[in-house]
Amino acid sequence: MVRLPPHGRRLHSRYRKPLFAFVMSAVTSLIVSAVILALRGVPAPLFLHQWAHAFITAWPVVFLSIILIAPRIDRLLDWVVERH
């Protein structure tokens, strides 16, 4: 179970979007780079090294993509999805 810090120790809400982009891009890059390497049949002894290299290459690209594209997608979805 994840324990949240006491209320006074939480980050300010202004950090939510960049922190989301940071974490989401890291997780996405890890998963996608692992799947691509696995599908390419990278041998087990080389896998971790190549995975680390692929991740380091992909993460900044995914992070910037989320930072730049997410606000536009959010606005599009505001236009497309009904509000309650």
Residue 84 resides in a domain: no
Residue 6 resides in a domain: no
The pLDDT score that the predictor gives to residue 8 is 66
Residue 50 resides in a domain: yes
As a whole number of angstroms, the distance between CA 26 and CA 61 comes to: 10
Q: Could you list the residue range(s) of the whole structural domain that residue 43 is in? A: 16-79
Please write the tens of the pLDDT for every residue from 64-78.
999 999 999 999 999
Residue 58 resides in a domain: yes
The pLDDT score that the predictor gives to residue 5 is 66
The CB density around residue 24, as the number of other CB atoms within 10 Å, is 14
Number of domains in the chain: 1
Question: Between vectors from CA 14 to CA 13 and to CA 20, what angle results, nearest 5°?
Answer: 80
Residue 56 resides in a domain: yes
Residue 3 resides in a domain: no
Residues of the chain with pLDDT under 50: none
Residue 5 resides in a domain: no
